[in-house]
Amino acid sequence: MSHTAVIGAGAFGTSLAIALSLNGAPVTLWCRDDETAETMRRGRKSPRRLPGHDLPKSLAISGNLAEIEADTLLIAVPMQSLATFLAAAPDWSGRTLVACCKGIDRQTGLGPVATLKAKAENSNAALITGPSFATDIARGLPTALTLAAETEARALSLQATLSRPALRLYRTTDTVGAELGGALKNVIALAAGMAIGAGFGDSARAAVIARGFAEMTRYAVAKGAHPETLQGLSGLGDLVLTCTSDKSRNFSAGVAFGRGDQPDMTSTIEGIATAEALATEASAQNLNLPLTIAIHAVATGKMAVEDAVGALLSRPVKQE
């Protein structure tokens, strides 16, 4: 049986490690330091990142990145840290690296798979994305995700290695569509949260989701994605979850913006960085991304929520 490692013991990485190791499969979870690893080994819990969930006895926990010898490594670090992390990582040539993050690097404009290919050139790049919350995965609740790899053979192999009864992985070779679906939905979730936080109501949120999905699809297809990918788990499925649940960090941040408050920036809010990257690209290339540009303006304090909504509503009405 092949050995799998999860690199990153945040909530999502830890939940994946729990799910993958429940059947006794050899799985290692890597933490950033030996002290945290030892605490988790002794208590079989992750009190800071994923409280209330036990770590299976079969799950190995390590604080030494150099000792990880797994064939498949799930890289569960935030998107804005991925390039820096990979630049300092050991030589993983020949191994399969599966990004488990969502977003677009604000410095390079690259998504997770493209970043893996740029920073770990001799490895095999793949991506897991889609509608999921860490607590649901850790509890063993049914979760369906997209597994994207560049070849059908690699996607099939990873699907067999990583699928579990409650963790269903649907494969695709459209890595561009999968990574853009996971990134762009966070921007729209900010907008949906702003609509609720500002008191515009559920009908306004539904309009944001619908128009946001159209904007997501338009941009992704222009980048080479297949439209059916955006209609699946990594696009529409993730969009609906993220725009309708208080457990979504991006939605909750949008609610705070809508109320005139500052969101909690100690947690990862990928939609803010992604909106920045897309707004910069839209300005340079004259792209039609009105919702994204408005969200970036609100998030950076350049526009009030009410003014952003007014600007969007003043756009000419046309055939849908």
Q: Which residue has the tokens 């607590």?
A: 135
Q: Report whether 6 contacts 28 (CB < 8 A).
A: yes
Q: Is 185 a catalytic residue?
A: yes
| Among 102, 117, 185, 247, the one annotated catalytic | 185
CB-neighbour burial class of residue 288 (10 A; exposed 0-12, middle 13-18, buried 19+): exposed
Output the average pLDDT for the chain.
93
Judged against a pLDDT cut of 70, whether residue 273 lies above it is answered with: yes
Judged against a pLDDT cut of 60, whether residue 1 lies above it is answered with: no
pLDDT tier at 270, thresholds 50, 70, 90: very high
224: left (phi over 0), alpha (psi -120 to 50) or beta: left
pLDDT tier at 213, thresholds 50, 70, 90: very high
- What secondary structure does DSSP assign to 111-169, as a single string? -HHHHHHHHSTTSEEEEEESS--HHHHHTT--EEEEEEESSHHHHHHHHHHH-BTTEEE
| Torsion angle of the four alpha carbons 64, 126, 27, 137, in this order, in degrees rounded to the nearest 10 | 110
> What is the per-residue pLDDT for 267?
78
Judged against a pLDDT cut of 90, whether residue 16 lies above it is answered with: yes
> What is the per-residue pLDDT for 312?
72
Q: Report whether 244 contacts 254 (CB < 8 A).
A: no
Q: Which amino acid is at 317?
A: V
Which tokens in the block code for residue 225? 């994605």
Q: What is the pLDDT of residues 107-134, one digit of tens each?
A: 999 999 999 999 999 999 999 999 999 9
72-75/59-62 β-pairing: unpaired
Which tokens in the block code for residue 39? 């605490």
Q: Report whether 278 contacts 110 (CB < 8 A).
A: no
- Smallest CA-to-CA distance from 66 within 113, 34, 35 is with 34
Q: Report whether 64 contacts 5 (CB < 8 A).
A: no
Judged against a pLDDT cut of 60, whether residue 320 lies above it is answered with: no
